[in-house]
Amino acid sequence: MNTFEKAKEILWKNTNIDENSTNKAIEILNSRKIDFGDLFFERVVSESFSLEEGIVKGGAFNIAQGVGIRAVDGTKTGFAYSDVLDNKSLLEASEAAHSISQGHNCDSCCVNRGHKDPKALYVSEDPISSIAREQKVAVLEILDKKARSLDNRIVQVIANLSSSHRTTLIMPTDSEACADIKPVVHISVVVVMEANGRREIGSASAGGAILLDTLLKNNDLEELAKEAVRIANVNMEAVSAPAGTMSVVLGAGWPGVLIHEAVGHGLEGDFNRTGSSAFTGKIGQKVASDACTIIDDGTIANRRGSMSVDDEGTNTQCNILVENGILKGYMQDKQNAMLMKMKPTGNGRRESYNSLPIPRMTNTYLKQGNYTPEEIISSVKNGIYAVNFKGGQVDITSGQFVFSTSEAYLIENGKISTPIKGSTLIGNGPETMKQVSMVGNNLEFDAGIGTCGKAGQSVPVGIGQPTVKIDAITVGGTGA
């Protein structure tokens, strides 16, 4: 059974909805003049467990399903949704959505367009049932015991295991119908270390668009526990960070969150259509150093941010946003692409059926260069090596950002030395990217843990980069 047929079976089971009723809904949308519209069916089954103080203190199982119906007429959008799946609710929501348009009947009404089956980027099986619940609890208990056995200063361990199975069916008025079935899993461990009146935290996570049994095969639980304890121990030894303008080396993988936030959001179509991005009107212009090629790719197999099709039914693709420092394009959903006279790029995403799609990143990363990490570190006389980040803020319009590190070290005379804490990186996205002088040959992606928020919606994303040298950036700290 192909993905489209499997999705229909999952979504329409125990309802009176069929293709005749969805065709009727599309006819209602097309009964007034609109640019396009769509039916978006979704079912998400999720489960999570959390362990603290050696016992399971939390657990949840949830099923959310419904349909969102949209009609787009220029800059206007009519939208209605229902968490009841039956013909009556479907047609009522279609009537409500198409009322946005006051135009005449549309002569181009077309239904029964058939469907497409894009290449699957992950398995479609349910990750929740891939291992028994007893095994899930056992995994958390192992993480707890391993972490505590590694260092007698560990006073608290929190372990979490979650999985979800998302089925979507998209039926546009202007193209073929399609479907996607995606698993997402995540495991994490957080430790609290205490000694001599000082408490520090360390954490480690793993995940992806895979099954739980695959996640556990690919990740050694002892290694996850060791990593969390290692980070806590580093922070226990850390001294106050220096302040001033200096060279900063960003580690590979998760530090790409700086590019995601400081640059990626500014390249989303809606911000540029409304002129609220620091990158508005700069296609073809220099926005970063020659060393920078930034890509958003929704087609990478098994990645958390990947999608076989986006939430509007557009095939995801590999989009080069910045090439050798030159801005090449923006990430687009259908509506903003239409209004900007550009093509959709497969970046129309929504949190759920009760949310409108907006331009969002998938897996965004900086393409690797030619330098080894050792060459990059050795080129810095005095600076900071930032291995991990814990949060930040960005102003899309100005491009200004502030990011806090969670693991960082001093670089002295070309060598990594003392761990530091309390450091923040402060700068402007486009200006900072022009300060990138060396890009490593060690591209890594995050551990499958990224979640991005925008306009009140959260979606899973991927983040990556190799080791990167920024020649000059403002570092906030409390040390001398």
List pLDDT tens digits, range 253-284: 999 999 998 899 999 999 999 999 999 999 99
At residue 107, the pLDDT reads 46
At residue 391, the pLDDT reads 74
Average pLDDT in the 91-110 region?
74
Q: What are phi and psi of 79, to 5 degrees?
A: -145, 135
Which part of the chain has CATH 3.30.2290.10? 3-237
List pLDDT tens digits, range 132-181: 999 999 999 999 999 999 999 999 999 999 999 999 999 999 999 999 99
At residue 311, the pLDDT reads 98
Assess whether pLDDT exceeds 70 at residue 109: no
Amino acid identity of residue 158, one-letter, is I
Q: Report if pTM > 0.85.
A: yes
96 three-class SS? helix
Residues in the chain: 480
Q: What is the CA radius of gyration of the chain?
A: 24
Share of the chain above pLDDT 90, in %: 89
Domain at 3-237: CATH code:
3.30.2290.10
- The gap from C-alpha 205 to its chain's centroid, in whole angstroms, comes to 15
Selection from 386, 382, 425 nearest residue 408 by Cα = 386
- For residue 12, name the pLDDT band (cuts at 50, 70, 90): very high
Average pLDDT in the 472-476 region?
94
Assess whether pLDDT exceeds 50 at residue 108: no
Share of the chain above pLDDT 70, in %: 97
Selection from 394, 390, 401 nearest residue 470 by Cα = 401
